Structures are given as C-alpha cells and as structure tokens.
Chain A
Amino acid sequence: MKDQKNKDALFDAFGRLSDGVLDEASHYRKSAAKKGRYVRRTAITLLAAALSLVLVTVTVVAAVPALRRYLNLDFVGESNRQETVPEGWVGIYTAEDLDSIRNDLDGKYILMNDLTFSEDAEAFTPIGTKDAPFTGQFDGNGYVIRKLVIDMTIPQTSNILATAGLFGYCEDTARITTEENEFPALWEVMETVYGGLIQNLGIEESTVTVSCPDVDTAVGMIVGKGTFLTACYAKNCTLNVQVSGSENLTFVGTLAGDCLLLDSCYTTDNTLALDYPVTESIHVSKVLGGLCGNAYTVVTSYGENNTIHAPESTAVRVGELGGHVSVIPHLMTEAQFMTVRNNLLAYYEGGANNFYYKQFCSYFLPKTLSAWTNNTYYYNPTFFVGPIDPTVTFFVYDPTSSFKEDLKNEETLISSMPLEDFTALCAADNLKVGIMSSYVIDSGTAYAEESFPEFDFDTIWQMKDGRPTLRIFE
C-alpha cells in the first residue's frame, strides 16, 4: 500500500507544478520539434556521407544471403581452441583476470585455460549491471569454469532489476547518452559488435544463490540478463532463487535468466529452485527453464535431466528448455513485418480493441544501419557477413517492451495468424524464431546423430557417449 501511496504522491506532485511549466506544456506546438528533428536527421546524413554510407531505404528481397546470415546470427564457427590470444582481445588465465573484466565492460576477452575456483574463494560478484552493462564479448575458447560460487543478498533498497550470474547484465548496443542531445559520431560505435556475446564456455559444479526483494529478477549460471549465448553448456550446477514478494518478474534459467538468442547450447544434471510467497494471480510473473528463463530464440540446443523446483501457481511458467520463448522474432525483415502488420490490420478491422493494435504496431521500430530514431541505439554495419548492403532496412522488436506486453502481442499475433503459418513465413526467409530444432533428451538413452537432424555435426557438434557434445571442448 505504501508503494501506491508514494506513486500517487509523485503523480499529485505533477498537479502542483508552477504556472510557467504548465503554460509552456499547454502552449507547445510541434513546429519547433519538427525543426529539431530535421536538424538531427541532417546531422545523421552528413555524418553518414562522411563515412561513405548511403541512407536509402529499400525493400529487402528474400535472396540476400548476408542478411539471412545476420538474422540467423551465425556466431558459432570455430571448432578449435585459439592457442594464442588474438589481437585486440585480452587473455583470461586466472580468477583475478576474470574478475578484472568489470574494469572494462566493453572489452573482448578470451579464456585461455580451465578455471577452478578454490573452496575458500570469496563469492564472485556478477560482471555488469543494468546501469553498467557488459557490452563486450567473452569467448570461453572451449574451456570450463568450475566451482564458481555466487551468493547474493540484494538489499531491500535495490533498484528495479536484480541480476545474477557470471555476468549479471549484458547489452548488445553501445549505450549512447543523449543528456546533452549531442549527436555522437557514428565511428564511436563502429567497434560495438555483438555486444554481450558469450560463446564457447562451459560451467560445471557451480552455484548461484540469490535472495532479493520483490523486484524484477534475472538469474542464470552464465548470465542473468544477456544477449547472445552460443556453444555454451552447464553441468551439475545449482541455482537457488528466493524472492520476498510475488508482484515482479523473475526469470531463472540454467544458462541465462533472460536472453535474446541461445544457439548450440546444452545443460545436463542441473537443479533450479525458486521460492517466493505465492498469491493468486492470473499474470505470469515467474518463468523458469532448463536452458533459459525467457528468450526470443532457442535453436539447436538440448536439455538433459535438469530438475526445476517452483511453487504450483498460475503465475509460474516452467519449461524444460525455455520457460518462455517468444514467437515474435527479435529481428525481422520488412517483408515479414509488413505481413504480420497486415494480418493484424485485417483482424482489428472486425472491431477489436484498437488499443492493442496501436501498442502492437508501435513495438516494431524501423531501424537503419546508422541510427535509430531517438539516437539512443546503434547497430554496427559489420554485423553483416560477406558483402555488405548498407541500405538494408530491418525491424527490431521494441527492446523496451515489457514481458506482459510481449505476452499480449504474442496472443494477438497468434489469434490473427496460425503459429505454424507465421513460423513457415519466417523459415522461408531463413529466420530463426522461437524454439527450433531443440530437444529434451533422456539420461538413460543413447542417441545417434539422426536424432538431432538440424545439428551441425561437421563443425559444431560431435556425438560422444550417445549424446551431442560441442567439438570445441574436446
């Protein structure tokens, strides 16, 4: 109740603003704003020209292999360890090296040997927070971290998001401050590639224990709230999460609590447990999964013998692979976006609630390679593999949409278009969406390659003891 009282107090404070502030807002006209926007757009164009980029928007045709490769997010490629530290990367050899990553959150790091934490080591503090995210890259290089212990009690006065894992919070774009409304040079963000990417990392016999107040929470062994995880695994790990309330979102997953993409990963013999005071609720707020809690895409991965303990409640969603994996892609081509949008338009013409239509369409924000609307996010044009077409426009699902909004949008989409049709539409453009080619396997069964038809056994996987393992770890 105090929560609502304080919110009301702040809302009421807006009602007591000075005459000057209120008159300014009442009399404001958009002509001034348009001019400002024009100035910024001109600045974008001038800078882009200086960097030999042409800002022309064209419709994407399906046969653009570079775009498909990007949307496939084919990070996984190496099947052999790097014996020396590549140029521009920092070698990680010790626990102290690992800990020092937090001093440069934009750096690129590569693990050069297995790391085993001693029994008397202090609990590890997750790298990266919401205010200071990890935007670099971490390559496990086929090595394994063992006996990592994360034990956190998050104070009652904490901010609105609690994250825990080897990495707490990762972000995939350079965070550009716009406090001064200055337009940063494009070249300042050119080096931000695949921010938050974690790959080729194994984690075993490790524990994460988190006790937190009723705030949004994301917990995983490797990352709490992450971006891209590829070729990672977790084995014999334990995650225990205790939340003191029931209102806020909790995402718990063996590898990641919340992430954009999980590709070519597996988890075996791990235990996840969530404890919170259960109340009657129709809204899903607790999401747990054997691979990840919440994600946009899970592809060519599997889970085996993971145990998940969570209270029985309509608010809790548990999945052996993903607790919730979105049916709406993080990224899509213009063709797909327009198809989805047109289907929704047809649906809502029947007189459905316009409010939901407006919300849904606003979540797809057109994006060019140079800048995005409010100059807040940038994407690096070198995302494209092979020949680069800098004029391509694609669409990104609103990263600021809430989980409730995501669920409502999915319901809306599925009600207007059968899920299998939408999945087929994405597949036609080679776009991965949802859970694809991923499996739950039985501990007591020996499998053959044929049981995993879409797995890449040439470069990424191999069969060992009747189940797939990642080549880079052998």
Chain B
Amino acid sequence: MTTKRPISHADTGNDPQDEAIIGALERRDESGLSELSQKYGKLCHHISCNLLGRGNDADAEECVNDTLLAVWQRIPPEHPQSLSAFVCRIIRNVTVDRIRRRTADKRSGELVALTDELGECLSAPEDSSFPEAAALDDALQRFLSTLDIEDRVLLVRRYFHGDSYRELADLSGQREGSVRVRLHRLRERLRDYLQKHYLFC
C-alpha cells in the first residue's frame, strides 16, 4: 500500500550547480546563460513542444530563447529558491502566452485538450462565483497535498509540463489506458474538492 507523502521543503532548494549559475547571472557573467541553457534547455524545449504541439520546433526554440532572456533579466534582483522551478514556470508562461496570442484557428490542439480536460474539474463553468487567482492557487496547492506522490506527479506532469499520456505511462510504469483512467478520477476528485471546500457552485 502506498502512503501519502507530504511535500517536504527539504526537496526544494538549488544544487551547487544551480547556485553557481545563479551566481554567474548575478555577476552578469554570460557563462551563466550557457550553463543554464546546457542544464535546462532540453527540459524547456520539452515543455514548450508539449504545449505547442508537433511540428512547432521553431516556435519552441524561440520560446526557449525568450525564456533565457527573461531569466537574464530577472536574476538579479531575484534569487530563486529553486532555479529548476523558476525556469519551468517561465518557459510555460512564455509558451502559453505565445499560443494565446494566436488567432482562434491557430490555437494549439494540445493546449485546448489540456484546458478542456481541466474543464471537467469545474462543476459550474458558467458560474460567476469562480474564485480569484489567489484562492484558486491555495485550493489547488491544498488539494495536491492530499494526494500521494504518484498521483501528484501525474497531475503536475500533465497540466504543468503538458506531458502526453504515453510519456506519463513510461514515467509511471503503467499502461497508457491506466494513466487516462487515473487522471480522469483525479480530475473528478479535484472537482469534488473544489466544490466541497471552496464552494465553487
């Protein structure tokens, strides 16, 4: 039987290489950017491609470049506690912003699919009482803390990283169909959690 594992703050924090990168950036040493690109470039490209969809390598490359520029511009004054999370957030936001600027007929099918799946978590999508961002962030964070690690990772890899079901199957060692069912049930639980604790109906 697997047990629920709380998220430990000891899990966050930078390794020595990350700290070295941050230090270089703070000194405006461009080798920091090279190091950053080497360590996180592939992950950034992966996240961007997940959201943009196949055949958008050029766009993904541009998003990665925009991300590196954003990191350069934000460090300093920022000194992220987790460089990995910091970079991942930026690439995701940059990519999503790019997609949303497109006209409706050029929207990414992958992003549409992901948001449509999350639509199942909304019991009343038309309801005007949908919470403000801060309350929603709190709700989501609390919900994730109730899950065991496997479920939490599946949700985050799917809706933050945009990993495909095949990738999630490989990651978790389950069959693709099992992952689909599991995520479906997790979305139902999130919906019920939001309804119960945050009166989103």
Contacts and interface: CB of A to CB of B under 8 A. Distances in A.
B12 A26 contact: no
Interface in B165-201: 165-166, 170-178, 180-182, 184-185, 189, 201
A364 B178 CA distance: 11
A160 B11 CA distance: 38
B126 A3 contact: yes
A24 B160 CA distance: 12
Contacts of A50: none
B105 to A, nearest CB: 14
A18 interface: yes
Given A3-B119, A7-B119, A30 B126 contact: no
B152 A6 contact: no
A160 B184 CA distance: 13
Main DSSP-derived SS at the B contact region: helix
A22 B173 contact: no
B125 A2 contact: yes
A181 interface: yes
A20 B157 CA distance: 14
Contacts of B189: 179
Nearest to B201: A157
Main DSSP-derived SS at the A contact region: helix
B102 interface: no
A156 B171 contact: no
Interface in B122-162: 122-128, 130, 133, 136-137, 140-141, 144, 148-150, 152-153, 156-157, 159-161
B123 A8 contact: no
A227 B4 CA distance: 35
A13 B140 contact: yes
Interface size class of A (residues with CB under 8 A): 35 or more
B114 interface: yes
Interface residues of B, number: 69
Given A28-B153, A37-B174, A181-B2, A157 B130 contact: no
A17 interface: yes
B123 A157 contact: yes
A373 B125 contact: no
A456 B11 CA distance: 67
Nearest to B169: A362
B184 A400 contact: yes
A398 B177 contact: yes
B2 A36 contact: yes
B125 to A, nearest CB: 4
Contacts of B156: 14, 17, 21-22, 24-25
Contacts of B84: 22-23, 26-27
B11 A20 contact: yes
A376 interface: yes
